[in-house]
Structure 1
């Protein structure tokens, strides 16, 4: 994004509202939460800090509150002891909430032993009854609780929705979470900003704060003022002698990328501040199959610095050496799932990753935040060390941010690359017309497949030529299904004619591997293996009630794949999010 846009929104919205909000009232607690512990052990990086989570407030010996309003299993409790800072005659709690899940979640606020507020499955819980939540901009909500003269007010998106008389005497606040139905989710994945004020905020201040938070969402920033990465450094487009490093800062900055084969780092690429906050640099003159260290240090015009710490990568081999790569898809809206799977993939130390699209759930031009506040926080710990090559999904189908974050791909979102004994053809299936005979992508793929000399050829796209899904291609609980997008059949004939062995895709949030298929029929000796992997952060889907004849293996759950590849052998393994292997496929030349 152009820096003047950030600056203009900052001047027009945030500074005036911040001034209003803090007139005579400095919050005693003011925390933004972007939790990501990063990779474990020696791979830890200053990019990922536990201080950006609620962990320091967690109660490890749980308290029992007999007067709770939400009858669900408790996940965790968080204590804020305000005995020396707050006079409970008057105070405010302010929340900025991001609810981008489809399972019931909740939290409850206690002052001392008294439950003063609850939220469960889209319903606010009060002693006098329930009120339906009305989020702003689909997933977001600004929530303020004010207390003064024995009256507790609840404000949603600057609108007063509840008033209740309540007597409070204790000076401890406990927030209790109910998140068991969303695996791996923590409360700070939902609460993105929490502040505690020493007085009851006025309606004008609440309105100003709401507008200030809206500006943060609209710009994609993670913090209102501090210099920060909006996209941590990540690796893309590796070749035996070069690699691409991309990152984004919230303002223009000059940058040094240091790199070398050992510490201290001896080589430097200097990048002056320019008009773009998304920066891509290509490091060239590298050696094939060589391990490297690198470090990104950015400095803004005020002298503030960002330091990635020392990170690592390895260049690809020039020959058909054996490789190990990961396959993922549909990262979408759950950074905590993507973090969990990222840690499991890191344990495998793959050479690179391919991503089958829906990098975001809906990260088109006007929803930059889905990249900077969901995708990058959940994946950058891994992709700062392991290159990832994605295809565009329908979530980023306009290619606006996709192309800015992946400069090596063609403007149409398709490209190919070689790594070891494999060649990978990455297609944009949002352009279905271009994938028909005579279409731009179809003819490009035909040319590239014809010229490919690699022993293994893989085609990747987002949409599904074959599917056992329950309702994406016809509701199988009510009638017939086409079991995949029939518009892709001509493309499959092209792949069959040019010796493609395996096709990967996503879109459906389950796992399915087909029996070998040729000319739309099972062909065990000459068919292509189709592998659907939609197992990252998207909402899980389900299968048709009866087994589809071409389906060799199905699994509903979060998952990832690895592929071990030599010139003669292909071995695919599918793991669930805990690292248990659930499927395996071996092919031989």
Structure 2
């Protein structure tokens, strides 16, 4: 009997398109129907009527188990609804309708969430996965436009069952209406499932995208720091390395107001598993005006002071945030905080970021919905920063 075993889930939002993916138990056809619904402007403000007006239908030839369809010709910053359909000789399945929201245009505020370690923490997790469910539930309450996962979403990326157990299963209700991006962590093992399940821009282990006034850059720190040499590099972070050259060319080519970078291994954290060799990237990030860097690996929360040239710099510094979210390892923290640490706490958590054209707000929230850290950053028309 044909069934849906993963998803549907959303990928790669743009101002006029969205990629929709799902997996079926057997090879089957792929079809997506995009629906619109008239908003009700009386009574309960903002409610929608039943989404029964067909906007467009997309399908592709042939059968597959992992389905990927991109729907296009949508309006920016607009809520649509979608349904998926698959069919083969054993039967047919459908799911939906579910809401989706296209990316916002430049100049429009938006929000996103950040977490990680849904699988990397699994060997230490006494809750048997309840923490993952709690984190996904709390993020859903904040209704982000999208989410960043900073690696280790599974325990063993080569184990097919892990992708459902630690990621797609606990996150099903969240990812059905919230697009997400991820980077490779060491637990993914650079496995083929990462490349099969995600619709990121090639080569998928590193890429960039724009959303509103922000340019996001994803790096593969497990390629810079090889497993056999961890925690040291052997010359990968130098001209001639494909990813290193991409990093420079990408940051050089963007004129976005805000720049954010995410990768797994943390160059700064006052705890175990700090990977100091990655500080070789910091001068490049500083040169091209990066504002925030998100990391994980150390399963704690930590926010640095604004840093530049190895010192605290409140005028031009970069804030490094370790969002080792779906877990907590207090024993991995040093006995006392290091010089670069502003705030640190080992609790299961996620980070919420709200971006406007000239302000950025960040909040760290635990698995029970309690706020435990926050900061704001203002940037004027000359890109001068003010932290408060």
Q: Give the TM-score normalised by the residue count of structure 1.
A: 0.57
Go from structure 1 to structure 2 and tell me whether the alpha carbon gap of 1:537 and 1:297 turns closer, same or farther (over 3 Å shift).
farther
Identify which of structures 1 and 2 has the higher relative contact order when contacts are C-alpha pairs closer than 8 Å and 6+ apart: 2
Go from structure 1 to structure 2 and tell me whether the alpha carbon gap of 1:412 and 1:253 turns closer, same or farther (over 3 Å shift).
closer
In the TM superposition, residue 314 of structure 1 has moved relative to its aligned partner by: 0.6
Whole-angstrom CA distance in 2 between matches of 1:341 and 1:302 = 37
| Aligned counterpart in structure 2 of residue 580 of structure 1, from 370, 382, 385 | 370
| Aligned counterpart in structure 1 of residue 163 of structure 2, from 371, 389, 394 | 371
Whole-angstrom CA distance in 1 between matches of 2:205 and 2:114 = 18
1:398 matched residue in structure 2: 190
Whole-angstrom CA distance in 1 between matches of 2:168 and 2:331 = 24
Go from structure 1 to structure 2 and tell me whether the alpha carbon gap of 1:522 and 1:539 turns closer, same or farther (over 3 Å shift).
closer
Q: Secondary structure at the match of 2:173?
A: helix
Are the counterparts in 1 of residues 114 and 350 from structure 2 also a CA contact under 8 Å?
A: yes
In the TM superposition, residue 310 of structure 1 has moved relative to its aligned partner by: 1.1
In the TM superposition, residue 410 of structure 1 has moved relative to its aligned partner by: 1.9
Note the 1:44-443 alignment, pairs <5 A: 226-262=1-37, 263-266=51-54, 267-274=56-63, 276-303=64-91, 305-332=92-119, 333=122, 335-364=129-158, 367-411=159-203, 413-432=205-224, 434-443=236-245
Q: Give the TM-score normalised by the residue count of structure 2.
A: 0.86
In the TM superposition, residue 315 of structure 1 has moved relative to its aligned partner by: 0.4
Residue deviations 1:10-40, cap 9 Å, x none?
xxxxxxxxxxxxxxxxxxxxxxxxxxxxxxx
Whole-angstrom CA distance in 2 between matches of 1:453 and 1:527 = 18
Whole-angstrom CA distance in 2 between matches of 1:269 and 1:453 = 34
Whole-angstrom CA distance in 1 between matches of 2:276 and 2:370 = 34
Q: Secondary structure at the match of 1:250?
A: strand
Q: Larger Cα Rg: Structure 1 or Structure 2? A: 1
Residue deviations 1:297-347, cap 9 Å, x none?
2223222x3322211111012322111111111111464322211221111
Calculate the aligned-residue CA RMSD, in Å: 1.7
Aligned length: 348
2:46 matched residue in structure 1: none
Structure 1 gaps of 5+ residues are 1-225, 473-483
Structure 2 gaps of 5+ residues are 38-50, 123-127, 225-234, 380-388
Whole-angstrom CA distance in 2 between matches of 1:383 and 1:300 = 26
In the TM superposition, residue 536 of structure 1 has moved relative to its aligned partner by: 1.0
Go from structure 1 to structure 2 and tell me whether the alpha carbon gap of 1:429 and 1:485 turns closer, same or farther (over 3 Å shift).
same
Whole-angstrom CA distance in 2 between matches of 1:232 and 1:360 = 16
Whole-angstrom CA distance in 2 between matches of 1:532 and 1:342 = 18
In the TM superposition, residue 563 of structure 1 has moved relative to its aligned partner by: 0.5
